[in-house]
Amino acid sequence: MIRAEPIIAVHDVEKSSKWYRELLGCKSNHGGSDFEILADQDGTIILCLHKWELHNHPTLINPKIPVGNGLILYFRVEDLDEIWKNAQRLNAIIEEEPHLNPNSGKQEFAIRDLDNYYLLISL
């Protein structure tokens, strides 16, 4: 099996962790102010959060560079309506409201997270 476990740099790991847990209903598998591992209810890692400028990782050292160029955090979910309501409750920046993607034939919407990463949420 091969699985991606993306790591994104964030300004406030604990705040971002709470936001993602409230948005997606995922859980913390690590916790802390420097690094977080977020997993689904089955324990599968879905996203890691890393504090900017720690540990000298070359792509995580300069928070002044705009984040996310060339990146879409794509989440497939079982209950799009629930996640949409969570996004609205969290006052997420809405890029696209729920709609049918003619290419995939799936319902989806797009938002920005606390650090301005682009999230695409799809069935």
Q: Is the pTM of this model over 0.85?
A: yes
2 within domain boundaries: no
pLDDT value, residue 81 = 98
pLDDT value, residue 54 = 87
Indicate the number of domains in the chain: 1
Find the domain containing 81 and state its range: 7-122
- Check which CATH number belongs to the domain holding 13 and give it: 3.10.180.10
Residues of the chain below pLDDT 70: none
pLDDT value, residue 57 = 85
Phi-psi region of 118 (alpha: psi -120 to 50; beta: other; left: phi over 0): beta
- How does 50-84 read in b/e, with b if 16+ C-beta sit within 10 Å? bbbeeeeeeebeeeeeebeeeeebebebeebeebb
1 within domain boundaries: no
15 within domain boundaries: yes
37 within domain boundaries: yes
